Amino acid sequence: METTRCKRCLLREAFPADYQKYVLSLLQKIRPADRAEQTCYDRRLAICGQCDQLNHGTCMGCGCLVELRAAYRKEKCPFRRWENG
Ligand code: SF4
């Protein structure tokens, strides 16, 4: 059965194998001092999940994988849609 994908799916939802291969190992390498708190991370991704710029886990505003960008404490949304900008 084929998986239904929405362009506002995160990579982990739309392409879990790619998420495992490309994102998870990078997330694990982020230094704790640089990492966003889990609640902040979850809020950012929830905002991305409602955003017209999201395309299968990639932000069309900056070209990043949002699941990576959102994990860094000091990163910001290119359109200032996250609560910290
Ligand atoms: S980082 Fe900002 S512009 Fe990009 S998908 Fe998330 S909320 Fe939208």
How is the chain split into domains, by residue range?
A: 11-69
What is the secondary structure of 56-78 as a DSSP string?
A: TTEETTT--BHHHHTTBTT---T
Ligand 1 atom closest to Cα of residue 48: 6
Q: What is the pLDDT tens value at each position of the chain, 85 positions in all?
A: 566 778 888 999 888 998 988 899 999 999 999 999 999 999 999 999 999 999 989 999 999 999 999 999 999 999 999 987 6
Cα 67 to averaged position of ligand 1 atoms, centre (Å): 11
> What Cα–Cα distance (Å) separates residue 10 from each residue in 31, 32, 33, 47?
23, 23, 25, 11
Report pTM.
0.89
Q: Residues with beta carbon inside 6 Å of ligand 1?
A: 47-48, 51, 53-54, 59, 61, 66, 77-79, 81
Give, for ligand 1, the residue of 47, 67, 72 to mutate: max count of ligand atoms closer than 8 Å to Cβ: 47
